[in-house]
Amino acid sequence: MFLINCPFCGERDQSEFSSGGEAHIVRPKQPTELSDDEWAEYLFMRKNIKGIQFERWNHVHGCRKWFNVVRDTSNDKILSVYKMGEKPPVNYK
Amino acid sequence: MPNYRIHKTEYIDETKRVSFKYDGKTYFGYDGDTLASALLANGIHLVGRSFKYHRPRGIVSCGAEEPNAICQIGSKKDLTEPNVRATELELYEGLEASSQNCWPNVKFDIGGINNFISPLIPAGFYYKTFMWPKSFWKKVYEPLIRLSAGLGKSPTEPDPDIYDHKYVHYDVLVIGGGVSGIIAAKMAAKNNLKTLLVDDKKILGGSTIYQNNESIKIDDKLSSEWLKNEIQEIKKLSNLTIKTRTSIAAYHGYNFLLAKENLTDHLPEEKKKNKIRQRLWKIRAKKVVIATGSIERPLVFNNNDRPGILLSNSINKYLDYYGVTCGENIILFTNNDSAYETSISLHKKGIKNIIVDLRKSASSELIKQAESLGIKIYFNHVVTNTFGYRKINSLEIMKLSEDGNTTIGDKIKLSCDCLGMSGGWTPMVHMHTQSGGKLDFRDKDQVFLPKENSQDQISVGSCNGDFDLENIIDKTVNKINKFLDIDNQDYQETNIICSKENDKRNIWLLPNKIPLGKTKCFIDFQNDSTAKDIKLALKEGFRSIEHVKRYTTTGMATDQGKLSNMHALGIIADTAGVKMGTLGTTTFRPPFTPLTFGTLVGRNVGKFFEVVRKTSMHEWHVENNAEFENVGQWKRPWYYAKNGENMHDAVQRESKAARDSAGILDASTLGKIDIQGTDASEFLNRVYTNAWSKLAIGKCRYGLMLNEDGMVYDDGVTTRISENHFLMTTTTGGAANVLSKLEDYLQTEWPELDVYLTSVTDHYSTASICGPNSKKILNKLFPNLDLSDENFPHMSFKEDKLENINCRIMRISFTGELSYEINIESKYGNSLWKMCIEAGKEFNLTPYGTETMHLLRAEKGFIIVGQDTDGTMTPSDLQMDWIVSKKKYDFIGKRSLYRSDTIREDRKQLVGLLTDDPKEILEEGAQIVSDIKSKPIDMLGHVTSSYFSPNLNKSIALAVVRSGKTMKGQKLIIPMENKNINVTVSDTIFLDKENKRLNA
Ligand SMILES: [Zn+2]
């Protein structure tokens, strides 16, 4: 059970949050211009990394804000949290 | 009756005699006893039958590792509990226990015959034999196995006990209250850290608390006396919370641990009443100290499972802690020094005993002490066989060869009434591995030890492989100072004297002249697996420990192989000729010991099982005989049974009344989202498939919401209240998810939009009145409101006051009838409803529930998201292309509507179905086919909604059928268990295709 440091509320139990999958997948601005394959890339393809992964989380039973998390999936350590729209920390690339 | 209680101890209160029943017979013990110690005091060793061979089995241990003494407690249908370990169960007045694995009774049973046919029951026997013939499984094998397996009985009535949950936060959690745990807790708490110390026993002190050997001393005192003093000290520390009878069940990530506290299990029946039985502690600790100790290993030799054969240290505890001797003529069989402590203790109490030691010689203080007391020691000897059916009465020993691989010389037969075995010690690394820590293997004494930590935790004491007291205390102090970054000097001057073990000899499977195939060398007592089974599994090609474990069922019982895993690994390593450390271990999964369901569930039972949401009109529904349906957490009226009607009759009556005159529905549960902001209409454009910019103020529009994959997600009517203010409705079940989805897009994809979302589902109550007379009823309620089609047409919105309270009125329809939805602040909901009912009396205004609502909308072919859709339906599949804007550049899911898969012609599509026999009502979910002769039968789709329409006087159904759009008029078949139903594909709209009734 993680402890997640919501950038708006502080450290809270995982049960207050819901996970929203991989982060930094931007919805294409012009979906109609895309081929089936390009659209499928956006729609379906997700990484499943053993190691450092960038994820979206929502403080659903708290401030209801979405934010980003850097998590090492091999030991579940959360290395960083940052707000939507902020640049991902470069040292985890 | 024999009495094996031979001396007084401070842990047994002989002034408090306790009577209890075991297998129907009454016995006596004392306050402080466990069921196991009380049984042993009464001379009872035989407590059950083994799982596969039904061999007599006795108490083996004194703790959580017990494989044999498994009991059923109590006999009441609601309070009986299986799988309780007699070694952990504290005795109380009136306790009723019975041995679990012994049908029909413990002294004689049919299963005992398995013992003689055991050559026929090798590893994997159940897999190999009972697989065939298939029909035998259900009728013959399973009932037989269940009957003889004796896995205990579950209660058959709800548990009346109270359970509780508690969340706590600590700086330091110490698991285990032995020497090292007590030292760690004291150091932490004295350094101003908020500390919690838990121990599963009744009192702190571990195995040192009853230590009485003169050669083991701390500061010139017996180690037990020294420790008692320490316990007194820590009880005074204000920073330290001590919880006894509390065991850690699971160690999760981020130092989150679950502990079970036993509060009343040790109390007599009348004192348990109205008290919390067990409490689940949910602990967050900044740092965790694991001091869980170690458990003694059995030895694997022929017939090592007879009653009267125990772990050597358990014999010691029964003697020095409980005052009970396990026999009068005891043999101790060991490969290490610890059995000598037992031997000396027994000797001091006048119990005759001798030692059989695998080692060629040994030279520690303890051994010298035993020798000087004149205790007979057979070095370099091995037990090769034991005798006695219901209890051991003698055994044979032989000399070991130089390499330890064979026995030599003559058999020596020794009589005894009890055998203690000690195969060394296994550190309890369960907590460490559960936390994600890795293990190292130490060859010297063949133990797995904690290695890397992934969490902020540390192991100290014998669970870290430190076995003698000097080592334990010195290392614990050093490690804790470092771990907590403190400089505690309390133990700087502590002077520890203890015997040091110098000699080791470990043999996992002891040699024997008898071929292995003819021996019974048990490894897992609870699941009855032997060394032979492990070897057979290897012979058959199994290599991975996880596979061997499952094939032989070793370590798979309720004790999770606490006594057996190491031996299984050792025998595999020896047989395969590999190093044990390279094999890895099986996974230690939580819980460490079994938990009751009650503890896990806590208070969340009965009406607290889930949140119940009721509308403000709920009371009226109850008073008017509504049957309720659960829709998500909501209680919705399903139908209102009048004068003992059944559901069908009620729904037929309600449906007819709604179309003939007027009906009223509590629609308060529909999700309502208040949407405001200068970009609100642009936002709706992006989330719905149709266009919203041009929706005039005061108008309503139906919208369909998709996922990005193009599949229908939700639907509902949204009203434009003012330029920048909309009220969206969602399905009842979808409300929370729709809000989350909209928030997600707003926060992450379109943060530039000026839009604010607020859930107002609970803030408004809604009465929906439909039917040809609805306008007249509205007119009575709102006499000043112009209800003419010109002023208040279909799909529009007005505000008016009912008395002085503002109402939002929408003229929208889910039934196809002229229909109004009146929304009012929830606190007035019940009044609104009653006023509607009153006003509608002269028009036979009939309250109807969800079932009638579903029927009425099905007559009109309106879909219900989640019933006629299942996350794989596009708008086109639903024949709703009309709602998808061709002009809009983008909306959620648009691009997916022309993926190669979504434009397939042969997708499942929504159609209507009419049965050839108009009285035949289809079953929802029934499969649809066109040809029942060719096998396998090609499934075309299934029925999604089905009703008998009283307004059309025939059965109607909606269904999804492959290529359904092109099949109108085609005959299809619905094969049921006892007949085939013929149907014809029809339009999805069954009634009033021209929508005349909307403006009736
Ligand atoms: Zn938050």
User: Is it the case that residue B148 has pLDDT exceeding 60?
Assistant: no
Give the mean model confidence (pLDDT) for residues A2-26.
96
Question: How far does the centroid of ligand 1 lie from the alpha carbon of residue A63, in Å?
Answer: 4
Please indicate whether, in this complex, the C-beta atoms of B709 and A43 are within 8 angstroms of each other.
yes
How far does A44 lie from chain B, in Å, by closest CA? Answer: 9
pLDDT for res B132: 53
Contact flag B747-A20 (C-beta cutoff 8 Å): no
Give the C-alpha separation, B248 to B702, whole Å.
55
A39, B895: Cβ pair inside 8 Å? yes
Give the model's confidence band at B127: pLDDT under 50 very low, under 70 low, under 90 confident, else very high: low
Task: Delimit the domains of chain B by residue range.
Answer: 13-125, 162-294+427-498, 298-423, 509-609, 671-856, 905-999
Question: Measured between alpha carbons, how far is residue B946 from residues B481, B877, B913 in Å?
Answer: 72, 19, 9
Task: Find, in chain A, the residue whose alpha carbon is nearest to that of B757.
Answer: A64
* Any B CB within 8 A of A21 CB: no
CB contact under 8 A, A40 and B895: no
Residue B781: which residues within 8 A CB-CB, separation 6 or more?
B802, B822, B835, B836, B839
Question: Residue A64 — very low, low, confident or very high, per pLDDT cuts 50/70/90?
Answer: very high
Tell me: the pLDDT tens digits for B618-642? Answer: 999 999 999 999 999 999 999 999 9
Distance A69 CA to ligand 1 centre (A): 13
* Residue/partner pairs of B681-684 with CB below 8 Å, 24 or more apart: B681/B720, B681/B724, B681/B726, B682/B753, B683/B742, B683/B746, B683/B750, B683/B753, B683/B755, B684/B718, B684/B726, B684/B728
Is A45 an 8 Å CB contact of chain B?
A: no
pLDDT score at B149:
52
Instruction: Please write the tens of the pLDDT for every residue from B743-753.
Output: 999 999 999 99
Chain A environment of B454 (Cβ under 8 Å): 75, 77
Residue among A76, A55, A57 at smallest CA distance from A6 = A57
Report, as an integer, the average pLDDT of B727-742.
96
Averaged over B771-786, what is the pLDDT?
A: 97
Q: Chain B partners of A40 at a C-beta cutoff of 8 Å? A: 899
Q: Is B738 helix (H, G, I), strand (E, B) or coil?
A: helix
Are A39 and B899 within 8 A, CB to CB? yes
Q: Does A60 touch chain B (CB under 8 A)?
A: yes
Please classify residue B707 by burial: count the beta carbons closer than 10 Å to its beta carbon, then call 0-12 exposed, 13-18 middle and 19+ buried: middle
Helix/strand/coil for B940: coil
In the reported structure, the alpha carbon of residue B681 is separated from the centroid of ligand 1 by a whole-number distance in angstroms of 28
| Residue of B25, B57, B27, B23 whose CA lies nearest to B41 | B27
B256: nearest CB among A1, A34, A56: A1
B453: confidence class by pLDDT, cuts 50, 70, 90: confident
Average pLDDT over residues B80-86: 92
**How close B912 comes to chain A (CA, Å)?**
32
Determine the structural domain holding residue A46 and report its residue range.
Answer: 3-92
Q: CATH for B905-999, among 3.40.1010.10, 1.10.3210.10, 2.40.30.110, 3.40.50.720?
A: 2.40.30.110
pLDDT band at B146 (very low <50, low <70, confident <90, very high): low
The two three-digit tokens of residue B48, written as one number = 């059950």
Q: Are B516 and B535 contacting, i.e. CB atoms less than 8 angstroms apart?
A: yes
Four-point Cα dihedral B971, B974, B980, B986, nearest 10: -30
For A36, the closest of B252, B708, B899 (CB atoms) is B899
Residues of B in contact with A20 (CB under 8 A): 744
CB-CB under 8 Å, B894 with A66: no
Over range B152-161, report the average pLDDT.
89
User: If you measure CA to CA, which chain A residue comes closest to B889?
Assistant: A32
- Position B248 scores a pLDDT of 96
Query: pLDDT for B841-899, tens place per residue?
Result: 999 999 999 999 999 999 999 999 999 999 999 999 999 999 999 999 999 999 999 99
Using alpha carbons, list the distances in angstroms from residue B412 to B301, B354, B396, B420.
Answer: 16, 13, 5, 18
Q: Flag if A75 and B748 touch (Cβ within 8 Å).
A: no
Encode pLDDT of B560-583 as tens digits.
889 999 999 999 999 989 998 888
State percent of chain B over pLDDT 70: 95
Among chain A residues, CA nearest to B437? A75
Say if A46 is an interface residue toward chain B (CB within 8 Å).
Answer: no
Distance of residue A79 Cα from the nearest chain B Cα, in angstroms: 13
CATH number for the segment(s) B13-125: 3.10.20.440
The number of C-alpha atoms within 13 Å of B406 and in the hemisphere containing its C-beta is: 5
**What does pLDDT average to over chain B?**
93
Q: Which residues contact B791 (CB under 8 A, 6 or more apart)?
A: none
Q: Which residue of B has its CA nearest to A4?
A: B254
* Token couple for B612: 């119940």
Closest by CA to B502, choosing from B355, B375, B366, B380, is B366
A2 touching B, CB under 8 A?
Answer: yes
Distance A59 CA to ligand 1 centre (A): 5
Does ipTM exceed 0.95?
yes
What is the per-residue pLDDT across B530-556, written as a single tens digit (0 to 9) for each?
999 999 999 999 888 888 888 888 888
Q: Using the mean position of ligand 1's atoms as its centre, give its distance from the Cα of residue B251 in Å.
A: 26
**Most B CBs within 10 Å: which of A36, A42, A46, A54, as the mutation test of the B interface?**
A36
Which chain B residue has its CA at the smallest distance from A20's CA?
B744
Query: How far, in Å, from the CA of A17 to the mean position of ligand 1?
Result: 9
Beta carbons of A1 and B744 less than 8 Å apart:
no
Going from the Cα of B436 to the center of ligand 1, the distance in angstroms, rounded, reads 28
Fold of B162-294+427-498: FAD/NAD(P)-binding domain (3.50.50)
Q: What is the pLDDT of residue B301?
A: 97
* CA dist., res. B376 & res. B370, Å (int): 8
- pLDDT, tens digit, 9 for 90 and up, residues B488-530: 999 999 999 999 999 889 999 999 999 999 999 999 998 889 9
pLDDT at residue A91, as a whole number: 82
User: Domain B298-423 carries which CATH code?
Assistant: 3.50.50.60
Q: What is the pLDDT of residue B549?
A: 87
CB contact under 8 A, B748 and A84: yes
- A10 CA → ligand 1 middle, Å: 7
Whether residue B890 and residue A32 make contact (CB cut-off 8 A), yes or no, is: yes
Using the beta-carbon criterion (under 8 Å), do B894 and A36 form an inter-chain contact? Answer: no
Nearest to B896 among A27, A43, A60 (CB): A43
Shortest distance, CA B460 to any CA of chain A (angstroms): 23
Fold for domain B671-856? Gyrase A; domain 2 (3.30.1360)
pTM of the model: 0.89
The alpha carbon of B615 and the centre of ligand 1 are apart by a number of angstroms equal to 29
| Cβ–Cβ under 8 Å, residues B949 and B955 | yes
Closest approach of chain B CAs to the CA of A5, in angstroms? Answer: 12
Question: For residue B659, with 0-12 CB atoms within 10 Å meaning exposed, 13-18 middle and 19 or more buried, which class applies?
Answer: buried
- Name the residue in chain B with its Cα closest to that of A63: B743
Which residues of A fall within a CB distance of 8 Å from B890? 30-32
Q: Report the number of distinct structural domains present in chain A.
A: 1
Cβ-Cβ contacts under 8 Å, A13 against chain B? 284
Q: Taking CB atoms and an 8 Å cutoff, what residues of chain A touch B708?
A: 27, 43
CA distance B284 to chain A (A): 9
B-chain CB neighbours of A32 within 8 Å are 889-890, 894-895
Bridge pairing between strands B195-198 and B162-175: parallel
Per-residue pLDDT at B979: 94
d(CA B736, CA B731): 10
Which residues in B have their CB inside 8 Å of a CB on A?
252-254, 256, 284, 436, 454, 708-709, 740, 743-744, 747-749, 751, 889-890, 894-896, 899-900
Tokens of B591: 């819980």
pLDDT, one tens digit per residue, over B232-289 is 999 999 999 999 999 999 999 999 999 999 999 999 989 999 999 999 999 999 999 9
Q: What is the CATH number of domain B509-609?
A: 1.10.10.1100
For the beta carbon of residue A29, count every other beta carbon within 10 angstroms: 8
CA distance B729 to chain A (A): 20
Percent of chain B residues topping a pLDDT of 90: 85
Do B509-609 and B671-856 show the same overall fold?
Answer: no
Q: Write down the pLDDT at residue B187.
A: 98
pLDDT score of B140 more than 70: no
Q: Do B894 and A32 touch (CB under 8 A)?
A: yes
Q: Is the pLDDT of residue B331 over 90?
A: yes
CATH number reported for the structural domain that contains residue A40 in this entry: 3.30.2270.10
Question: What residue in A sits closest to B902 (Cα-Cα)?
Answer: A36
Q: What's the rounded Cα separation, in Å, for the pair B402 and B358?
A: 11
Are the beta carbons of A31 and B895 separated by less than 8 Å? yes
> Structure tokens of B727?
């009220």
The kind and range of the H/E element at B369 are helix B365-372
Distance CA B65, CA B84 (A): 12
How many A from CA of A15 to the centre of ligand 1? 12
Which residue of B165, B452, B743, B747 to mutate against A (max A Cβ within 10 Å)? B747
Report the range of poorest mean pLDDT among B308-312, B394-398, B593-597, B779-783: B593-597
